[in-house]
Structures are given as C-alpha cells and as structure tokens.
A = this chain, B = another copy of it.
Amino acid sequence: MDNYVKTPHLIEEKSFEIITEELGEKTFPEEIGKIVKRVIHTTADFEYADITIISDGAIEAAKEAVKKGYNIVTDTNMAKSGINKRILKSFGGEVRCFIADEDVAVRAKEEKTTRAMAAMNKAIEDETNKIFVIGNAPTALFKLKEHMEAGRVKPALIIGVPVGFVGAAESKEELEKLDVPYITIRGRKGGSTVAAAIMNAILYMI
C-alpha cells in the first residue's frame, strides 16, 4: 500500500507517456495531440483518437479567444466544474452555466423546451460569452446553431461534444457544417468530462 504514486504531477506525466506509447504509430501534430491525449486521459478510451475532430485554425482561435478575456458558457455544471478557472481568470474570463438558474427553469417550462435550450437563449444575451462548451445537451447545440444562423451570436469557438443516443450525433454533424472554429467528437461519444478536457488542453497550451 505504500508503493503507489502519490505525486499528482508525476501521475499525469506518466499517464501521458503510456497514452503516447499505446497510440503507437498513430501520431498527431503537437497541439492536436495534446487535445486528443487529454481526452483519452479523461476517458481511458482510445477510440477518441479516431473521432476527435478539430476544424482548421480552431486551436489558434481558441487561444486568442481566451487571451481576449471572453467568457466560457457550458451547458452543464459538471463541465463548468471541470474547467480550470485559474488560467482563464488571469485573462479576465470566467466560466458561466445558466442551466440551474431559476429564470431559465421558468422559461423552459413556458416554452415547453429543455432547460438546456432556455439556458442557451440566456447565454447569447451577453456578447462577452463567446466560447461555448457543450458536453451533454444536443438541444443546446441545436439552439446555438439557430441563434448563429439568425445572426444573434458569433461564437469565437464551439466545443460541441454532446454524448448520447438521441440527437447527439446529429447535433454534431450540424456543427461540422457551420462556419465557426469548432472541436467535436463524431458519433455518440463525448460528455461533460470530455468537453472539460478539451477546454483544459487549450488552457494549458497558453
């Protein structure tokens, strides 16, 4: 019981070494690799090496957006919890999640939609909310797309990785058609931990 690794920094370093080794000949450009490996680190699922999609220039755009002090909006408090706020704060940004707000619950009930959609409606009312990190709700991603097409919001980055069996894959297919810097996971997989891992990988690059 005394011979397990107790130093957090070493645990992470060793984990990334193992991941790199097991990826074998599957290599990536440096910054893309950092994102893919952090997702695998978070899930222990190597399938993410094949289904993580990063649009051209998205990493550069993401770093710029953070440096400009834009806020991050997440669809769940889980994703919010998982994002490293210290680095973001040093540039003036913060992580916001409106899903549990009382006015959002009221609006969702009135409009007979998901709270995730009502939360997105609230998010776009403040134009410093420019980075969207969606790990759970396809409806949040669909709603964001509607707002973009209507010219109501112009995100600096969308990390769109809803997980699940109803609408998740479809919402991400739609994301890939949009003219916006994005990072996504093809198919059903994804989730709040994956969303946070991607955002953190970008924050740690800065």
- Report the minimal beta-carbon distance from A142 to chain B, rounded to whole angstroms: 6
Tell me whether A5 and B167 are in contact (CB under 8 A): yes
Copies in the complex: 2
Q: Does residue A130 face the partner (Cβ distance < 8 Å to B)?
A: no
Chain A interface category by residue count: 35 or more
A45 to B78, Cβ gap below 8 A? Answer: no
Q: Which residue of B lies closest to A185 (CB)?
A: B44
Given contacts A6-B112, A6-B113, A166-B11, contact A192 B142 (CB under 8 A): no
Q: Does A164 contact B (CB under 8 A)?
A: yes
Give the distance to chain B from A119, nearest Cβ to Cβ, in Å. Answer: 12
B44 adjacent to A188 (CB under 8 Å): yes
Of the candidates B15, B115, B166, B170, which one forms a contact with A15 in the assembled complex, judged by CB atoms under 8 Å apart?
A: B166
Q: A residues near B, CB below 8 A?
A: 1, 4-8, 11, 14-15, 18-19, 41-45, 76-78, 80-82, 112-115, 117, 138-139, 142, 145-146, 163-168, 170-171, 187-193, 196
